[in-house]
Structure 1
Amino acid sequence: MEQHNPSIREEALALLRRGLSNRTVAEQLNVPRGTVGWWLSEDRRRRGVRYERPTDCPRCTGRTFDAPAYAYLLGLYLGDGHIISKAKQHHLSIFCTATWPGLIDAAEDAMRRVMPMPSVRRRFRQGCAEVKSFTKHWTCMFPQHGPGRKHDRQIVLESWQQDVVKAHPWDFIRGLIHSDGCRAVNWTTRIVNGERKRYEYPRYWFTNVSDDIRQLYTGTLDMLGIEWTHCTRHGKPYNISVARKASVALMDLHVGPKH
């Protein structure tokens, strides 16, 4: 490692103790960023200070957070999200179909609004985009995290999460639809004046294997006055359909198709 004047090192440490980032100090003093990080680490070791990564976790700091963004992100997480636990951090991942760039942007935006400090990245695979955020505090915001698949364990919202959903039900519904739902156009035929004619109508589908997650969805629909029915589709009894004209109109107003 290149040797630097001790006065520069002391100046760097003074700036770091004032709260400046490693990058800012490195640029200001024209010192490699790795060197600044090493100085900081050694200084903490000498003073016996244990490093705690800064966090803006609302549950740990009491910070007010963007509740509508959280309600939407909660819906995405319950549908197509999961958390991978590692030694020093947890990775929150939301998986989106790559052909819906608007959904990918919305997922990243929601993560940043709920906790601005953690880094967020995108990883693209064939036909799929993973929006990923890194901090050990995502399990604070999603206590439903646990071993195994969601439909193999109980999914119950904590009281503070229930309050968020009650205050922002449409954001929650939009997140669920954007993860495990869709807006489709169905068709049937009718006899009109003795002639069979094709009739098309829009419908919202939500499909999830977890009984608990489906009940969270239907319970919120009930709160909003949306009519729904259970449907067996392709032999799977895990589908919730919204097809009544007035209910579809409300869903169109507040949810709309993925894009």
Structure 2
Amino acid sequence: MIYQECAQLEAGVTFFIPGVGEQNIKFFIIASCTDKPAQSLLTNMVSHNANYSCAKCFTEAPCPLTKLKYYSFGESILFDSLHTLYLGVFKKFCSLIFSKSKTDRQQKWSLYNKINSIDQGLSSVKIPTTTSRRFRTIKHIARFKANEFRSLMHHGSTVLLQAKLPKYRRHFALLLAAVNIASKDIIDNYDIILVKELLHQYVKDWQKIFGLRHMSSNIHSLLHIHESIQFLGPLYMYSAFNFEG
């Protein structure tokens, strides 16, 4: 269904333009940026938690969208900041370190017992007036919107880093550095290589710190962020934040 609609757009749609008359205008899909469930639907693939679910790595069958003129399967599937980074990786990170679970609270990386002091530190953080949404108290983090996670990650990171043990600070700093570089106005080849190295190390260390059971699809997707940047540019070029509810 999606392929047929895209094919019709490529064939062209007739519009009446005042002073010009009827014109056949063609539309071409060069990339897609969605959350994981929509990505599975769009590409006719299995769910993100199944085997062969990464469109960047390996697929067992062809995708109908590859019949489109400029849509390249794998390369055209983008991993954006809203779904992959903030509602994906950073939300997962926060859900673990602030987890109420007895098992999680016993881990060295847990900050559950420091929530009150962290909230106190965050309350004094001044954020730019251009910020879409300020983060709420950590006690409500389960209901945070993507903009709140973004605000917490970039403007509250100092407070979070101070509360963590040194070796966990370095791990979190890898993600912060990579995201900031990937969000620059202009990105060169050196930046792309640096983002790749930082995020590959972050994913590698994630498994050591949190274990294999927490190596989710979004964590894996970090390995492909540099490919999206190389294909279409900085993260803001294909941000889905304007569509956040």
TM-score by length of 2: 0.25
Q: Normalized per residue, which structure has more strand?
A: 1
Q: Normalized per residue, which structure has more helix?
A: 2
Which structure would you say has the larger Rg?
Answer: 1
Q: Whose RCO is larger (CA < 8 A, sep 6+)?
A: 2
